Amino acid sequence: MPQPPRKKKCLRMKQQQDRERVQRRREAEFPKKENQDKERTEKENKEEKLNPPQKENREREVRRREAESIPERESRQRENREREQRRRESESTPERETRLQQVRTGRNATRMRTWRILENAAFNYDPTADYIFDPSCIIGPMSVTCEHCEAKK
C-alpha cells in the first residue's frame, strides 16, 4: 500500500527548531550570564560602600530640583545646554568618537534589555498586558493561511 505524500516543512516545525536552537544557545551562555550578574552585583556593592556621599548628593539634588521654580529650572537647563555645547565644541575627534561609541553601547544595551523581556513572550502570555500599545509588537489581522497546514497567521 503506498504511503501518503509527506508534507513540506511547516511553519510550526521551523518555529520548534528555532526554539530548540535558542534554548541550546541559552544553555551554553548561562554560566557566562550568571558570572556577569555576580560580578555586576559585587561591583554595585563596592560602589555603594565606597560612595555614600554620592548617594547623599543625589538625594540632596533631587530635593533641590523639586523645590526650584519654573524660571530657575529653565535657567539651569539653559546653562547646562550652553556648558555642554562648549564642551563638545572643544573636544577632539578621538574624544568625540569615544563619546559617541559610549552612547551607542548604552543605547544597544537598553534595546537588548527590552528585547530580552519580550523574548518568548508568546509562551508566557499575560492577558492583562496591552500588547496593542507596545511598539515592539506588531499585531495585525490573521488573514494569511499557511499552504501546508492551513493555519491562520
State the Cα torsion 125-126-132-138 to the nearest 10°: -20
Look at residues 108, 133, 136 and name the one whose alpha carbon lies nearest to residue 121.
Answer: 136
pLDDT at residue 59 tops 70 = yes
Q: What is the pLDDT of residues 93-149, one digit of tens each?
A: 999 999 999 999 999 888 887 777 777 777 777 788 777 777 777 777 788 888 888
Residue predicted with more confidence, 17 or 59: 59
Rounded to 5 degrees, what are φ and ψ at 152? -80, 140
pLDDT value at position 80?
95
Q: What is the pLDDT of residues 68-92, one digit of tens each?
A: 999 999 999 999 999 999 999 999 9
Q: What is the pLDDT of residues 2-48, one digit of tens each?
A: 665 555 556 677 777 888 887 887 777 665 555 555 556 665 665 56
Exposure b/e, 11-32, CB count within 10 A at least 16 = b = eeeeeeeeeeeeeeeeeeeeee
pLDDT value at position 55?
84
Average pLDDT score, the chain: 79
pLDDT value at position 52?
78
Residue 146 CA, chain-centre distance (Å), reads: 32
Whether the Cβ atoms of residue 10 and residue 146 lie closer than 8 Å to each other: yes
Give this prediction's pTM.
0.39
pLDDT at residue 49 tops 80 = no
Coil, strand or helix at 145 = strand
pLDDT value at position 54?
82
